[in-house]
Amino acid sequence: MLLSCTDVRKTFGPNVVLDNLSLDVDEHEVVALIGASGSGKSTLLRCVNLLTEIDDGVVRLDGEDITDPRVDADLVRQKIGLVFQSYNLFPHMTVLDNITLAPVRVHKRPVPEARSQAMEWLDRVGLADKSGSYPDRLSGGQQQRVAIVRALVNSPRLLLLDEVTSALDPELVGEVLTMIRELKGEGMTMVLATHEMGFARQVADRVAFLDSGRVLEQGPPEQVLGEPVEARTRQFLARIIEAGRL
Amino acid sequence: MSSDTTPRPHQPSTVQRERIAYRRKRAIRSTLLAALSTAVVGLLLYLGVTGSPGWERVKASFFDWDIAVKALTGRDNYPSILSGLWLNIRLMVICTACALALGLLIAILRTLRGPVTFPVRALATTYTYSFRGLPLIIVIYLFAFGIPGLRLQGTPSVTVLGAAAIVVTYGAYLAEVFRAGIESVHPSQVAAARSLGLSYRRTMRHVVLPQAIRRVTPPLLNDTVALQKDVGLISLAGPIDAIRAAQINQAGTANFTPYVVAGVLFVLLALPLIGVTDWVTLRAARRQNAGN
Ligand SMILES: Nc1ncnc2c1ncn2[C@@H]1O[C@H](COP(=O)(O)OP(=O)(O)OP(=O)(O)O)[C@@H](O)[C@H]1O
Ligand SMILES: [Mg+2]
């Protein structure tokens, strides 16, 4: 097991966002987190990346308790890539500099090597001609792909993706989807939060439905999305179908 | 992936040509109007001042050419304003550099979190609060006359102490400008940097500070212009800078022209930096408009 969250609790004041949540992710597995807005999907990803401190429970990566305060959080984050819902590219750096920042400054790779690796990735995702551009000159889909590449060049053991398609139009969703399918083919372990059930169905090995701060139901996409057991899951999916997003 | 459309040669239509002609005509008319109104205001000011009953006396005691030349070059054993100015220039460069460094350091200290750094943070906060409120003249007196009064070994000269007073006072202002810049960088930028494994220091150095400093460059430069001018206050502590030289000249000749000379020189010194400030501000505004 690569990632294992056990009884994770997270509160913001009186608001209990994660309530003894448990979730395990195997190596090479792709897990989709679904759930209503505000159900804590982003919060869970931030907790796993140690950007947010949990209030109780244990998160293990490769068996190591990464929520132990004696653990160096910077070292843990080097093994976990996180792609944000709003891209969060660095606006004062070119695309190439955004991508090579961590390889050069954190992993101490020589600049030419880091650059050529970044160029290979940009070429793969069809953005080689944008390497010198600043992020505000790119479209949403292009920024999203740069953000994914920026996380990937650190060769993370685990990639966390937060609604990577929510800001994109259907055509751009296709671009990002293709990229994620390729990563899956290469054996990347991924946890992705999403509102797109079609997306979850296409790439996920397992779908986990978050409700009231815990994983209420999980299983293969056909089962959870097709014939859910829990009433809450059925309600949620019914609303999604109403909104035409299945 | 995204294919740029190649620009075809384009003939403007009649409507567009007419619009261009109209805009050009309007631009010419407003330029002429501006020139005319400037000339009228200038003429009225000139007539008003030179026509006033006391103008001849003011002219003699503030705008005497001979005295100006003497004060500037330091003939007749008076100190030269020009050589005093050299002291001002050196002080401007050194004080600006030190005040910027001090301000940045204090701003960074004030952003630290956690109980361990509380004393440092409290000290930095107290410093910015008190020195922004304290008039520079008082700080200069305290430093230049108070510190030597302690009779400590190795007390630096009044010039150095006066410069330190300027650095400490302006450091407090600049610290607040830097801090405003740091706080204007969205937390998601820090989150993105930390998620890549960058430490707090590297995040500050490569992600937060470059964006923060770029954003506050216009106000920083503005405060730097004010610092340059206030370097003249060091004359209160005694060293013979341009203003002190002007004062000695004025005392000797009973004529205020040396002050006017020193004032003009200060304006000339500030012009380049003011120009740079305007240019940077304009560029920042343009860039903001160019972005989405
Ligand atoms: N920094 C914070 N301070 C206070 N409350 C927070 C904070 N971050 C998140 N929350 C709260 O935690 C809850 C879960 O938020 P979260 O962003 O994890 O939801 P989500 O499932 O990702 O929703 P969405 O699908 O809309 O992205 C929300 O009620 C939110 O208001
Ligand atoms: Mg979210």
A142 touches chain B (CB under 8 A): yes
Domains contained in chain A, CATH given: 3-242 (3.40.50.300)
Of the listed ranges B69-78, B130-139, B237-246, B281-290, the least confidently predicted one is B281-290
**Residue B292: what pLDDT?**
38
Q: For residue range B115-148, list pLDDT tens digits in order.
A: 888 999 999 999 999 999 999 999 999 999 988 8
- Ligand 1, from A42, A49, A163, A192: best to mutate by most atoms within 8 Å of Cβ? A42
| Distance of alpha carbon B292 from alpha carbon B272, whole angstroms | 32
Is the pLDDT at A209 greater than 80? The verdict is: yes
Of ligand 1's listed atoms, the one at least distance from the Cα of A193 is 22
Average pLDDT over residues A123-134: 91
Average pLDDT over residues A184-188: 92
**Residue A93: what pLDDT?**
93
Distance of CA B6 from the midpoint of ligand 1 (Å): 45
Average pLDDT over residues B239-251: 87
Choose from B195, B208, B211, B287 for mutation: most chain A CBs within 10 A: B195
Determine how many CB atoms are found less than 10 A away from the CB of residue A239: 11
Restricting to A residues 62-101, those with a Cβ less than 8 Å away from any Cβ of B are: 74-75, 77-78, 80-82, 84, 86, 88-92, 101
Chain A residue at shortest CA distance from B202: A105
Tell me if A30 sits within 8 A of A231, measured CB to CB.
Answer: no
B156 touches chain A (CB under 8 A): no
**Residue B253: what pLDDT?**
84
> How does the average pLDDT of chain A come out, rounded?
91
Q: Whose CA is nearest to atom 5 of ligand 1?
A: A12
Is the pLDDT at A37 greater than 50? The verdict is: yes
Q: How far is A210 from chain B (nearest CA, A)?
A: 23
In terms of average pLDDT, the best of B4-8, B98-102, B243-247 is B98-102
| Distance of alpha carbon B253 from alpha carbon B245, whole angstroms | 12
The band of B223, judged by pLDDT with boundaries at 50, 70 and 90, is very high
Determine how many CB atoms are found less than 10 A away from the CB of residue A141: 21
Q: Whose CA is nearest to atom 26 of ligand 1?
A: A37
Tell me if A99 sits within 8 A of B190, measured CB to CB.
Answer: no
Q: Whose CA is nearest to atom 10 of ligand 1?
A: A12
The band of B1, judged by pLDDT with boundaries at 50, 70 and 90, is very low
Nearest one of B110, B148, B138, B130 to B236, comparing CA atoms: B138
Of the listed ranges A130-134, A214-218, B66-70, B209-213, the least confidently predicted one is B66-70
Q: How many CB contacts within 8 angstroms connect chain A with chain B?
A: 66
Of the listed ranges A91-95, A152-156, B27-31, B276-280, the least confidently predicted one is B276-280
The band of B200, judged by pLDDT with boundaries at 50, 70 and 90, is very high
**Residue B179: what pLDDT?**
95
Any ligand 1 atom below 6 A from CB of A37: yes
Q: For residue range B169-191, list pLDDT tens digits in order.
A: 999 999 999 999 999 999 999 99
3-state SS, residue B162: helix
Cross-strand pairs, A59: A5
**Residue A179: what pLDDT?**
85
